[in-house]
C-alpha cells in the first residue's frame, strides 16, 4: 500500500531536529554498550538499536517533508563511560526516558494531527524500551499509569 505523504510544517523542523539529536545520542549509546552485554542481552539491545535507527529515519523523513535541513551528526555524543552491563542499562534507561520527556513536550506543539500520531508512535516504542531496560535493572517494568519519562 502506498503511504500517503504527510503535510509537515516548516515551523516544526526545530522540534524534529532536537529529537533527532537525542535519537542519535541513543544510537551511539547502544553501539557503545552492546559489546559489554552478554549474548541474550545483546540480542535485545541490537533490536532496540535498529528501532532507534528507524526512529531517526522517521524524523529525517518528517524534516524532509517540511523542506527542512537535518542537523549534522555530532562528532561525538556524551554517553558516559559504562564499564559493565548494569551501567550500560542505566545509561540507556536515562537516555530513553529523556527522549520520552522530550517527545511529550513536543507533541502538543506539533501539527497537523497525523504528525502528532507519527511522533507518538515513536514515543510509545521508547516507553517499551524503558520497560525492558527496567526489567534488566531489576525494577518494575510499568511503574506508572501515565508514562512521563520521569519514572
Partner 1 sequence: MPSQRTRRELLGRGVLAGGLGLAGATVLLPAEAAAATAAASAPPSNIAVLGRLVRLEELILYAYQHVLASSLLPSSAQPVVAGLRNQEQAHIHALSAALSVLGGTSPAGPVNLAAADKDLSHRNVSQRLGQLRGGKDALRLLLAIEHVAEGAYYVAMSELSGPTLLRLGAEIMASEAQHATVLTVLLHPVDLTQAVPYGLVQGRR
Residues that bind partner 1 (CB under 8 A): 38, 40-41, 43-44, 47-48, 50-52, 54-55, 58, 100, 103-104, 107-109, 112-114, 116-118, 120-132, 135-136, 138-148
Q: Which is nearer to partner 1, 72 or 145 (CB)?
A: 145
Q: Minimum distance from CB of 138 to partner 1 (Å)?
A: 6
Q: Which is nearer to partner 1, 67 or 114 (CB)?
A: 114
| Nearest-angstrom CA–CA distance, 117 and 76 | 31
Q: Minimum distance from CB of 109 to partner 1 (Å)?
A: 8
Q: Which is nearer to partner 1, 5 or 138 (CB)?
A: 138
Q: Which is nearer to partner 1, 79 or 96 (CB)?
A: 96
Q: Minimum distance from CB of 75 to partner 1 (Å)?
A: 26
Q: Which is nearer to partner 1, 67 or 112 (CB)?
A: 112
**What DSSP letter does each residue of the chain carry, written as one string?**
-PPPPPP--GGGHHHHHHHHHHHHHHHHHHHHHGGGS-HHHHHHHHHHHHHHHHHHHHHHHHHHHTT--PPPPPS--------SHHHHHHHHHHHHHHHHHHHHHHGGG--SHHHHHHHHHHHHHHHHHHHHHHHHTTS-SS--SS--S--
Q: Minimum distance from CB of 70 to partner 1 (Å)?
A: 18
| Nearest-angstrom CA–CA distance, 81 and 67 | 37
Q: Minimum distance from CB of 143 to partner 1 (Å)?
A: 7
Amino acid at each position: 500500500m502506498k503511504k500517503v505523504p504527510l503535510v509537515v510544517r516548516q515551523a516544526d523542523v526545530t522540534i524534529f531536529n532536537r529529537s533527532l539529536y537525542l535519537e542519535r545520542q541513543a544510537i551511539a549509546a547502544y553501539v557503545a554498550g552492546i559489546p559489554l552485554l552478554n549474548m541474550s542481552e545483546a540480542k535485545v539491545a541490537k533490536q532496540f538499536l535498529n528501532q532507534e535507527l528507524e526512529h531517526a529515519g522517521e524524523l529525517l523523513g518528517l524534516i524532509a517533508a517540511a523542506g527542512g535541513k537535518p542537523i549534522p551528526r555530532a562528532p561525538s555524543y556524551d554517553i558516559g563511560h559504562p564499564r559493565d552491563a548494569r551501567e550500560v542499562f542505566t545509561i540507556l534507561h536515562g537516555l530513553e526516558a529523556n527522549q520520552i520527556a522530550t517527545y511529550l513536550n513536543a507533541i502538543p506543539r506539533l501539527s497537523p494531527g497525523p504528525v502528532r500520531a507519527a511522533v507518538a508512535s515513536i514515543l510509545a516504542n521508547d516507553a517499551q524500551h524503558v520497560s525492558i531496560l527496567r526489567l534488566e535493572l531489576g525494577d518494575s517494568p510499568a511503574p506508572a499509569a501515565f508514562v512521563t519519562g520521569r519514572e
